[in-house]
């Protein structure tokens, strides 16, 4: 059952990542096709992230109220419908609206997935199995890169390629939804809301569910003194108050590195004199690092403490991103682009495991959703901050801004972040 969970969650995250990077890959084509000015281009890049900000903040709490499984199905339906509508956009402004609405559904995917994986995976394999799910998702980036290379400049049966890319995302999400219908609800969540009998039934659906997982479920039974209906009160208690603040600062800053490169790499290359086709090719080759980094994260999560992995991978991401922006040799551009994306996904896999481990079951999706939504908000702001810097001062200056933001993220984790590797969730979250 754990393998089925990894595949079903990984494929759902595949289309979330597909959606996140889609605006970037089609933006260069739409800029030429519709003669987009600076404001329209920035809104197109920002619209999905603004929607994801709303979705992460609102629907993360929904998963703590109605359950992980039902929240999954809701956000997948929402995302699929609005992505399909976007494929029929008559103009760029309609596309901006549909990208925002699709982003609302996409925004809940990672917080709910993080919470579900943390709930159901055994402690000794939690990091490794979660990393496999994230690895499935990041295969989407090179897949999208090469699909865009083949489709964005061409039409299929008279249909512009960028519209086909949207349809692919919508149809794929429907298939994932059908697969996820077979997943059991989180036993930990069921126990946390007092549904012990249902929790035991769900446990029996997981492999070896009567051993460590059963004990964990018993320990997840809510304390009557805890007001599980009010997440703000629950999260105001130490140490969760400090952890919430840490993740808020972390997410407001980390997106400058992760999405600053991922969404603007092609525009950076265009600004350096490469044509659209060449920029998309180099970007697609660089994107091959995403799944490689995810695979690399699997043994690293087993060997090293997660807190230190988060900090180290941020430092590597900053260094390789700055080198990508400054080297002139074509081979080195692709090489450092590859290394930037690879370290990006070591970082991403580790922090997604880490952030879900440091909050109790009854508010896990809420806490992750609230803080993760800030990364979506800052990602929406990114085009309005980084594109003007890129246009007026160049790629090196843009990545210097990114470096400052990442330094703040490292400092927040170093100061407050707890150690979590190899520990029970109930030991990490004793209150």
The string of pLDDT tens digits covering residues 130-172 is: 878 878 877 887 788 777 766 666 666 777 777 888 888 888 8
Closest C-alpha to 359, from 277, 426, 286: 426
Residue range 323-335: mean pLDDT, rounded: 84
Q: Where is average pLDDT lowest: 108-112, 127-131, 263-267, 357-361?
A: 263-267
Highest mean pLDDT: which range of 38-42, 256-260, 295-299: 295-299
Which residue has better confidence, 164 or 230? 164
Span 292-320, mean pLDDT? 90
**Residue 203, CA atoms < 13 Å, CB-side half-sphere:** 23
Q: Determine the average pLDDT of the residues in 195-207.
A: 79
Report the C-alpha gap between 144 and 15 in whole angstroms.
Answer: 10
* Whether residue 218 has pLDDT greater than 70: no
Structure tokens at 89: 């956009």
The domain containing residue 66 runs over which residues? 2-428
Region of poorest pLDDT, from 209-223, 229-243, 330-344, 417-431: 209-223
More confident residue, 276 or 256: 256
State both tokens at 181: 């219908």
CA gap 262, 257 in Å, rounded:
8
Three-class HEC string of the chain: CHHHHHHHHHHHHHHHHHHHHHHHHHHHHHHHHHCCCHHHHHHHHHHHHHHHHHHHHHHHHHHHHHCHHHHHHHHHHHHHHHHHHHCCCCCHHHHHHHHHHHHHHHHCHHHHHHHHHHHHCCCCCHHHHHHHHHHHHHCHHHHHHHHHHHHCCCEECCEEHHHHHHHHHHHHHHHHHHHHCCCCCCHHHHHHCCCHHHHHHHHHCCCCCCCHHHHHHHHCCCCCCCCCCCHHHHHCCCCHHHHHHHHHHHHHHHHHHHHHHHHHHHHHHHHCCCCHHHHHHHHHHHHCHHHHHHHHHHHHHHHCCHHHHHHHHHHHHHHHHHHHHHCCCHHHHHHHHHHHHHHHHHHHHHHHHHHHHCCCHHHHHHHHHHHHHHHHHHHHHHHHHHHHHHHHHCHHHHHHHHHHHHHHHHHHHHHHCCCCCCCCHHHHCCC
Please measure the distance between the N-terminal and C-terminal CA atoms of the chain and give it in whole angstroms: 30
Pairing relationship of beta strands 159-160 and 155-156 according to DSSP bridges: antiparallel
> Taking every pair of C-alpha atoms in the chain, what is the biggest distance, in angstroms?
64
Local confidence band at 266 (pLDDT 50, 70, 90 cut-offs): low
Is the separation of the CB atoms in 279 and 266 below 8 Å? yes
d(CA 112, CA 62): 9
- Mean pLDDT, residues 218-228 taken together: 43
Amino acid 1: pLDDT: 66
At 387 the pLDDT is 82
pLDDT value of position 34: 66
Higher pLDDT, 120 or 60: 120
How many CA atoms lie less than 13 Å away from 30 in the CB half-sphere? 25
What CATH number is attached to the domain comprising 80?
1.20.1250.20
pLDDT number for residue 216: 46
pLDDT at 222 over 60: no
pLDDT of residue 227: 46
Least confident segment among 14-23, 312-321, 345-354, 409-418: 14-23
Whether residue 212 is predicted with pLDDT greater than 60 in this model: the reply is: no
Total domains, the chain = 1
Tens of pLDDT, residues 188-198: 888 888 888 88
The whole-number pLDDT of residue 151 equals 67
Strand partners, 160: 155
User: Model confidence over 45-67: pLDDT tens digits?
Assistant: 778 888 888 888 777 778 888 88
* 67-102: burial string, b at 16+ Cβ within 10 Å, e else: bbbebbebbbebbbbbbbbbbebeebeebbbbbbbb
Query: What pLDDT is stored for residue 338 in this prediction?
Result: 92
Cβ count near 295 (within 10 Å): 16
Tell me how far CA of residue 261 lies from CA of 255, 264, 273, 279, 406, in angstroms: 9, 5, 18, 13, 12
């Amino acid at each position: 059952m754990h393998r089925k969970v990894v595949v079903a969650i990984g494929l759902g995250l595949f289309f979330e990542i597909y959606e996140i990077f889609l605006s970037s890959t089609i933006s260069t084509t739409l800029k030429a096709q519709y003669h987009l000015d600076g404001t329209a281009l920035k809104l197109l890049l920002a619209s999905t992230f603004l929607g994801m900000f709303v979705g992460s903040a609102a629907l993360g709490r929904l998963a703590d109220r109605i359950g992980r499984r039902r929240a999954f199905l809701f956000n997948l339906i929402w995302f699929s419908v609005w992505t399909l509508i976007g494929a029929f956009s008559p103009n760029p402004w309609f596309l901006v609206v549909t990208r925002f609405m699709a982003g609302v559904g996409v925004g809940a995917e990672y917080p709910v997935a993080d919470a579900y994986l943390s709930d159901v995976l055994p402690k000794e394999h939690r990091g490794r199995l979660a990393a496999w799910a994230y690895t499935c998702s990041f295969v989407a980036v090179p897949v999208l890169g090469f699909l865009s290379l083949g489709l964005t400049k061409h039409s299929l049966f008279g249909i512009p390629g960028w519209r086909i890319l949207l349809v692919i995302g919508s149809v794929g999400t429907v298939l994932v939804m059908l697969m996820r219908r077979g997943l059991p609800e989180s036993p930990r969540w069921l126990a946390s809301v007092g549904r012990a009998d249902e929790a035991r039934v769900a446990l029996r659906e997981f492999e070896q569910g009567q051993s460590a997982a059963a004990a964990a479920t018993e320990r997840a039974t809510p304390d009557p003194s805890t007001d599980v209906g009010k997440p703000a009160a629950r999260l105001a208690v130490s140490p969760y108050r400090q952890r919430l603040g840490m993740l808020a600062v972390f997410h407001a800053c980390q997106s400058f590195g992760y999405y600053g490169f991922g969404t603007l790499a092609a525009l950076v290359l265009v600004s350096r004199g490469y044509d659209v086709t060449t920029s998309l090719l180099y970007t697609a080759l660089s994107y091959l690092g995403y799944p490689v980094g995810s695979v690399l994260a699997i043994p690293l999560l087993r060997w090293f403490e997660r807190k230190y992995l988060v900090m180290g991978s941020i430092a590597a991401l900053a260094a390789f991103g700055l080198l990508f922006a400054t080297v002139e040799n074509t081979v080195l551009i692709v090489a450092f682009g590859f290394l930037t994306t690879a370290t990006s996904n070591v970082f991403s896999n580790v922090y997604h495991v880490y952030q879900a481990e440091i909050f109790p079951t009854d508010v896990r999706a809420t806490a992750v959703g609230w803080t993760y939504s800030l990364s979506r908000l800052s990602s929406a702001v990114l085009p309005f901050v980084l594109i003007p810097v890129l246009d007026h001062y160049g790629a090196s200056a843009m990545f210097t801004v990114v470096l400052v933001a990442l330094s703040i993220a490292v400092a927040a984790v170093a100061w407050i972040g707890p150690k979590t590797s190899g520990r029970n969730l109930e030991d990490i979250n004793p209150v």
